[in-house]
Amino acid sequence: MIDILFAFATAVLPAEGTLAIRARAVWTGAAVLENAVVVVADGRIRSVGAEAPRGVEVLEHPGVLTAGLIALHGPAGAVGETSDGTRPALPEARVGLAVDPRSVELVALHAAGITSILVTPDPAGITAGTSALVRTADGSILRDPAHLSLVFSAEGLAGNRAPTSRSGALAMLDELFAGTRGHVADAKAGRLPCLFEVRERDDVQRAVAFARQRKLAGALHGAALSGELASAIRGSGLAVISPVLGVGTPRRVLDAVAQLAKEEVPFGFGLDAPWNHQDSLRLSAVLCLRAGLDRAAAWRALTANAARIAGAGDRVGRIERGLDADLVLWSGDPLDLASRAEVVFTRGVARTIQHAVPAPEEVRR
Amino acid sequence: MHTNVGWLALVLAGTAGAQDGAAPARETLLVRAEHVIVAPGRVLDAAQVLVRDGRIVAVGQDLEAPAGARVLEGRWVCAGFIDPWSALGMAADGLAELNATAATRSIDGFDPFSLDHLRREALRAGVTSARVQLGAQARIGGLGAVVRLVPGLGRDEAVVAEHSNLWMSAGLSLPTGMQFVETPDGFQMVSGNRAQDPFDRVESVDRIVSALQAGRNYLIAQNEHRHELEDWKKKIAEKEAELEKESKKAKKDREKAQKDAEEKGKPFEEKKYKEDKKPATPRFDEDNEVIARAVDGRLPLLIAAEREAEIRALLAGTASHGRLRLVLAGGSEAVHHATELAERRIPVLVWPAPLGRGRPDELEAHDLSLAGRLSGAGVRVLLGSGGRDPSATRDLPLLAGLAVAHGLPSAKAFEALTLGAARALDVADRLGTVEAGKDADLLILDGPPLASTTNVRFTISSGRVVVTPEN
C-alpha cells in the first residue's frame, strides 16, 4: 500500500488561536462563495465572509474550501473487531471502543479529504452492536454510540447457529425488541437511531415495516437498488446509506440513487474501507453526477446529509458558524476526480497532505 | 404457401428490428467550438472542423458550412477516446480462453451486436473505440483488435484494425482461479487469489522469451530462404543465358549423347546442372509467422506483468530483440524499472482503478500513483480500463482523472486516451487527432476533456452523430 506510506500529513498550525482561510471558492453546503474567508477560532468556525478580521493570520489558497467528507460504513480503524462470530446478538457491543487511532487505514482516509467515518459493526447475526462516528485525523469520537445495527440481510445468517433464515432472524429481532434495557431501550425511545443492514429489495421492505411498526429512526444500508423503493422509504422517515459505487456500476443502480434524491430521501455513501479505496467515496458521487444527479445532491451525500445520518449534523458537514472546523482545501472542484485534497483541517488544526507524486506544475484550463 | 407467408413475416420483422438498432447515417458536418484540440498540446481557438463521408476534411478558423451540412456547436472539441485495454465487445468465453496461440484472432470472438447498452454508455462518456483481446489471462493471448463501439455498425466499419497487437501475459497463470461471473448487465472477470510459486512465475517469463526466440529463428530462416531463393533464381538465369549463348553446341552435344546411348542400348539421361536444385522452403507455421512480425517490429507486443520479478526477467529477456515494440500492461511494480523502461521507450499501459484491500496477490502493489511516477521518470504512459469488465470502459475518463489526481499531468492523461493509444496500436493514421484525413471520431464537450464534471454533448464516430444531448 504505497499510497499509505506516502500520503502522510504534517501539522503546520497550532490548534489554539484564530486562523483565517481564504480560498478561490468556499462551498458552505448552502452556497458557493467566490474568494471568501472562513475564520476559525478554538477549533470551530467563527465566521464566513468576504474579509478577514484585522491581525489574524490568513492562509491563502487558490483552490476550493469545503467541509470534510464523511464515509458512512465500514470497519476502517477497527478491522477484525467489528463482529463476534460466536454470538448472534450483541446489542451492547460498541465498535467505537475498538478503533485504533494510529491505524494506517485512517491515515489513508484522512489524506483523501475524508475527515470522519462511521465505523459500523459487521452485518453479523441480528446485531453486532453499535456504530460510532470517528475522526480520521486522530481517531477521536464525534458520536458513540451513533446507531444500533440491525441485520435484515442474508449476511447475518449462518448454517451452524441461529438465525439460519430470514424469518428466523425476524423472530429474533422481535424478541430483541421485547427487551427494555440498554441500546434496545434507547432505540425504542428514539434516543438511538438504528442502522438497518439490507441487501436485496425485499430486505428493504421488511426493514421499513419493522421500523414503521416500532417508530424507529435511522438509516438503511447496503441495498444498491433501494432507490427503486424510494417512495416507501420516504414514508418511513428513514435515510439511506448507499453501498460504495465502483467503476462500471450499472446504470440501473445509478438511476436508483437518483430516485432517492427525487423523492427527497436523505442519503450518503458507505465506503467500507479498507476493503474499498478511499477515492471510491468521491467516485460514487461522481458516477451519480454523470448519470444525472444534480451537483448539490451529490455534494450533500458526501457531507451534510452524511453528517445528519451519522447523528452529527450539528457538529460537522457544513461550513457554518459554530460547527467544528473539519475542513478540506482541494486543488480544484472536489467533484472532479482529478482534484486532490491539499490541506485537511481537524478542529482547526491544518495538515498538509504529502502525496506520492507532487502536483504537476501545469495549470488546468 | 402458408409456411412461406409466415417465413416472410419473420424476415420483415427481423429487418425492422435491424433498422431500429442501426447506427445513424453519415452526415456532412460542420463542428464549431471555442477550443479545438487538434492534437495533444495543439489547441486552435474559435475553430471549425468539417466532416464529410466519415472523414475529417478540414480544420480551420474560417470554415463555412457547405450547403446541406449539419452544424454542431460546443465549447471543446477533441478526438474520441480510445480504451486500449477493454473487454467491451468480446464474448466472455473468448476473454477466458486459455488455449489461444499467437495466431488466434480476437476479431473472431468479437461480437458487434452484444451489450449495446454498455456501448451506448461508453459513447456517451466519450469512449469511441477500444482494443479488445481474447485470452486475457492466457500465456499467449493472440492477436488483439481495435474496434469502434457504435452499436449496429457493420463489421467492416466497426473494425479499425483487425490485428492491432500480439498479447501475452506473465506471472498471472490462473486457469483454476479465474472465472467470469454473469451479471444482469454483462459479466465480470473475477481473478483468483491463488498464491503462486515464484519459480512458476519466472518460468512463465522464460516461456515468453523462448517463444520470442523461436519467432526470431523462424524469421531468420524465412529471411535466409528469401536470400537463397533470390540467389538461386539469379543462378538459373545466368545458366540459362549461358546455354542460350551456346545453344548450337549444346544441341549438338545433346544429340550426340542421345545417339551414343541408343547405340550402347542404354537409357538416355539428360545432363544435370547443380543449379537445378531449388532451395527447400522452410515449414510454414502460423504462430511463428505472428511472433516473427512482432520480433520484427511490424506488430506491437503487449505483455501483461504486474510484479517486479516478472518485469525484470521480461526486460532482460527482450533486450536483445532490438526491433521489438514492447508495451508493458499492468506494471504495478514497474516503478523499479522506470529508468530502463524510459531508455528503451517501452510504454506502460496502466489500469488506474481504485482498488481496496483484499485484491488479488499480484496486484498487492497496485497504486493510483503509478501513472504519475512512471511519467515523472520519463516513461510513456497509456491508460486502460483493465480488460476485465465490459462496463468499465464507460468510466475510462474517470480513471484518467484519478491518475491525474495522483500525479499524472493532465496533458499526458489526455494524450494517453487519444494519440498515445492510437500510436501504440498502429492506428494513428486513422484515430487519435482532429486532423484532415483522419476518421471523424470527435467529441463535442461542454468543458475541458477529462474533467469529471464535463458532459459530452455530441459524440461522432466515423461521421455518424451517435450521441446528442437529446438521446
Q: Does pLDDT of A8 surpass 70?
A: no
What pLDDT does A365 receive?
33
Residues of A in contact with B451 (CB under 8 A): 333, 336, 338, 364
Measure in Å the smallest separation between the Cα of A251 and chain B Cα atoms. Answer: 9
Q: How confident is the model at residue B471 (pLDDT cuts 50, 70, 90)?
A: confident
- A190 class by beta-carbon count within 10 Å (0-12 exposed, 13-18 middle, 19+ buried): exposed
Nearest 10 degrees: Cα torsion B425, B427, B429, B430: -150
Taking residues A37-65, what's their average pLDDT?
94
Q: Does pLDDT of A146 surpass 90?
A: yes
Residues of A in contact with B392 (CB under 8 A): 247-248
B367, B455, B467: best mutation site toward chain A, by most A Cβ within 10 Å?
Answer: B367
Distances (CA, A) of B39 to B305, B379, B420, B435, B438: 30, 20, 10, 8, 12
- 8 Å CB contact between A83 and A124: yes
Q: Which class does domain A2-67+318-353 fall in?
A: mainly beta
Phi, psi of B80 (to 5 degrees): -60, 145
Locate cell 515449414: which residue? B283
Q: Is B342 on the interface with A (CB under 8 A)?
A: no
Q: CA-based diameter of chain B, in Å?
A: 101
Q: Does pLDDT of A4 surpass 50?
A: no
What pLDDT does B33 receive?
98
Q: How confident is the model at residue B239 (pLDDT cuts 50, 70, 90)?
A: confident
Q: How confident is the model at residue B6 (pLDDT cuts 50, 70, 90)?
A: very low
Select the residue of A3, A339, A364 nearest B369 (Cβ to Cβ): A3
Give me the residues paired with residue B398 across strands. none
Express each pLDDT in B294-338 by its tens digit. 999 999 999 999 999 999 999 999 999 999 999 999 999 999 999
CATH architecture of A70-309: Alpha-Beta Barrel (3.20)
Phi, psi of B248 (to 5 degrees): -65, -45
- Give residue limits of the domains in chain B: 24-80+432-471, 81-218+285-429, 219-267
Higher pLDDT, A364 or A236: A236
Higher pLDDT, B272 or B169: B169
Q: How confident is the model at residue B179 (pLDDT cuts 50, 70, 90)?
A: low
- B124 secondary structure, DSSP code: H
Q: Which three cell numbers mark B434?
A: 482532429
Q: How confident is the model at residue B114 (pLDDT cuts 50, 70, 90)?
A: confident
Measure in Å the smallest separation between the Cα of A188 and chain B Cα atoms. Answer: 36
- 8 Å CB contact between B441 and B128: yes
- B80 secondary structure, DSSP code: P
Residues of A in contact with B450 (CB under 8 A): 338
Fold designation for B81-218+285-429: TIM Barrel (3.20.20)
- 8 Å CB contact between B339 and B374: no
Amino acid at A158: A
A215-224, B175-184, B194-203: segment of lowest average pLDDT? B175-184
Chain A residues whose C-beta is within 8 A of a chain B C-beta are 1-3, 6, 246-252, 272-280, 283, 286-287, 289-290, 295, 333, 335-340, 355-360, 362, 364-365
Percent of chain A with pLDDT over 70: 94
- 8 Å CB contact between A122 and A83: yes
Q: Does pLDDT of B404 surpass 70?
A: yes
Nearest Cα to Cα of residue B468 among B16, B27, B18, B20: B27
CB contact under 8 A, A276 and B356: yes
Q: Does pLDDT of B138 surpass 90?
A: no
Express each pLDDT in A172-221 by its tens digit. 999 999 999 999 999 999 999 999 999 999 999 999 999 999 999 999 99
- 8 Å CB contact between B189 and B389: yes
Give me the residues paired with residue B60 across strands. B48
Express each pLDDT in B408-442 by its tens digit. 999 999 999 999 999 999 999 999 999 999 999 99
CB contact under 8 A, B367 and A357: no
In a 13 Å sphere around the CA of A325, the CA atoms on its Cβ side amount to 27
CB contact under 8 A, A357 and B376: yes
- A55 class by beta-carbon count within 10 Å (0-12 exposed, 13-18 middle, 19+ buried): exposed
- B109 secondary structure, DSSP code: G
Q: Is B450 on the interface with A (CB under 8 A)?
A: yes
Domain B24-80+432-471: homologous superfamily in CATH: Urease, subunit C, domain 1 (2.30.40.10)
Taking residues A79-95, what's their average pLDDT?
92
What pLDDT does B254 receive?
85
Q: Which of A76-90, B53-67, B103-117 has the highest mean pLDDT?
A: B53-67
A215-224, B90-99, B148-157, B358-367: segment of lowest average pLDDT? B90-99
B119-133, B235-249, B449-463: segment of lowest average pLDDT? B235-249
What pLDDT does A1 receive?
38
Q: Is B158 on the interface with A (CB under 8 A)?
A: no
Select the residue of B184, B353, B452 nearest A336 (Cβ to Cβ): B452
What pLDDT does B12 receive?
38
Taking residues B108-119, what's their average pLDDT?
89
State the DSSP H helix or E strand holding residue A212, giving kind and residue range, or none if neither.
helix A201-214
What pLDDT does B185 receive?
67
Q: Does pLDDT of B193 surpass 80?
A: no
Q: Does pLDDT of A151 surpass 60?
A: yes
CB contact under 8 A, B405 and A2: no
What pLDDT does B200 receive?
78
Q: Does pLDDT of B394 surpass 90?
A: yes
Taking residues B95-123, what's their average pLDDT?
90
What pLDDT does B191 receive?
60
Q: Is the ipTM of this structure higher than 0.90? A: yes
Asked if the domains A2-67+318-353 and A70-309 are classified in one and the same CATH topology, the answer is no
What pLDDT does B175 receive?
45
Residues of B in contact with A283 (CB under 8 A): 354, 398, 402
Higher pLDDT, A74 or A12: A74
Q: Does pLDDT of B127 surpass 80?
A: yes
Q: Does pLDDT of B75 surpass 80?
A: yes
Select the residue of A289, A290, A357 nearest B369 (Cβ to Cβ): A357
The CA distance from B157 to B54, in Å, is: 10
Taking residues B139-153, what's their average pLDDT?
93
What pLDDT does B99 receive?
83
Q: Does pLDDT of B284 surpass 50?
A: yes
A 10 A CB-CB count for A233 gives 27
- Give residue limits of the domains in chain A: 2-67+318-353, 70-309
Express each pLDDT in A313-338 by its tens digit. 999 999 999 999 999 999 999 999 99
